[in-house]
Each structure stands twice: as C-alpha cells, then as structure tokens.
Amino acid sequence: MSCLLLLPIVLLSGFDLGGRVGATFPSAGLETYHASSALLGGFVGYSTGRSRFELGYSYSELPGRQASPYHMDIQEATLAYGYEFVQRPGWGFEASAAAGYALVRRALLAASESGKAQSAHIAVGFVQHQGKSRLSLGFDNCVFVELARAGTTTRLALSYIPSLRAGVAYAF
C-alpha cells in the first residue's frame, strides 16, 4: 500500500528517463591511433527549478585508423549536476559537471586488454522544454584521469575525448 502512495510523488516530481546519441572525437594523443565514432547512452534524471541531477551510462567504440582491426570500447557510468544559467519559457542554456567511472577495453584481432579509469565531464548545451520533457543539444568534454608510471616516476596522465551530443528525455 505504501508503494501506491509513493507512485504519484514519483510521477509528478520531476523524474525523467531518456537517451542520447552523439559523436566523439579523440584528442590529446588518442587521435594518432583512433578515429571519431558514434556515442550511445541512456540516463535517469531529476529536475527541480534550474538544477538537474542525472545518473547516466554511455558506450562508444573508437575504431583504429585506416581500417585497422584495432579498436577501443569505452563504457562509462556518470553522476552529473547541471544548472540552467539561462532559462526562458520553453528553452534555456545549461552548464553541467559530472564524475564518472569507465571500463575500457582495447582489442587487436584476438589480443585484448582491459582497464578502468576515472573521468570528469564539463558540458554546455541548449535545452528545449515541453512540459517536463526535454530535448538537449550540446558539447561535452570528457577527461580521463589516470596515473602513468615511467620507471620510478609516477605522473598524472589526462586523455580528452570531446563529443557533440543530442538527447531526449521523457518525464514520468
């Protein structure tokens, strides 16, 4: 019975479910061996006023250059906060920041290796509202952070993968 009482609260409170597509462009040394690729993802969000919280998942496969059998798969889970700094009736501009955790797998023919990496996202984009549902289009810069060891020296290594993304969310 208590679940039935919570149902109207969840349905009317600003939760949404959606998906996104985009294009990724490897940079900062990754472009030497990887070509641009498509990005697919899904998310669950909660909006209140100008603020938005989001739990998301994305997948991208970066192919090797010149039709090489080499490729890299990136699966990432993120937790994001966005703030609509310009808000007009029906549309606005949003800036967001996210922390993520990625599972990365590289493969060349039968050989493969996998690893994990933390990531950070800084994004800005256009948002159109239709009731509580939303359409978004924007730029996202993903930075993978890891420690690289060279002999006895450890240094911070950053890999950038910017992307253009479009998303649709349907409010419950």
Going along the chain from its start, the domains and CATH numbers come out as 14-171 (2.40.160.20)
With contact defined as beta carbons under 8 Å apart, do 60 and 34 qualify? no
What average pLDDT does this structure show over 1-28? 73
Q: Greater confidence, 63 or 46?
A: 46
> Over 90: is that where the pLDDT of 16 sits?
no
In this structure, what token pair is assigned to residue 9? Answer: 């609260």
- pLDDT of 130 reads 83
Please, what is the average pLDDT of the chain?
A: 85
Host H or E run for residue 51 = strand 51-63
- pLDDT of 93 reads 96
- pLDDT of 11 reads 53
Angle among Cα 119, 121, 127 to the nearest 5 degrees reads 150
* pTM given for the model: 0.81
Model confidence at 110, pLDDT cuts 50, 70, 90, reads confident
Q: Greater confidence, 12 or 137?
A: 137
> Over 70: is that where the pLDDT of 7 sits?
no
What average pLDDT does this structure show over 8-14? 59
Cβ within 8 Å of residue 55, ≥6 positions away: 43, 44, 45, 77, 78, 79, 80
**Amino acid letter, 16:** D
**Core vs surface per residue 15-30: b (16+ CB within 10 A) or e:** bbebebebebbbeeeb
DSSP states of 99-125: EEEEEEEEEETTEEEEEEEEEEEEEEE
What average pLDDT does this structure show over 92-109? 91
Instruction: Report the percentage of the chain scoring pLDDT > 70.
Output: 90
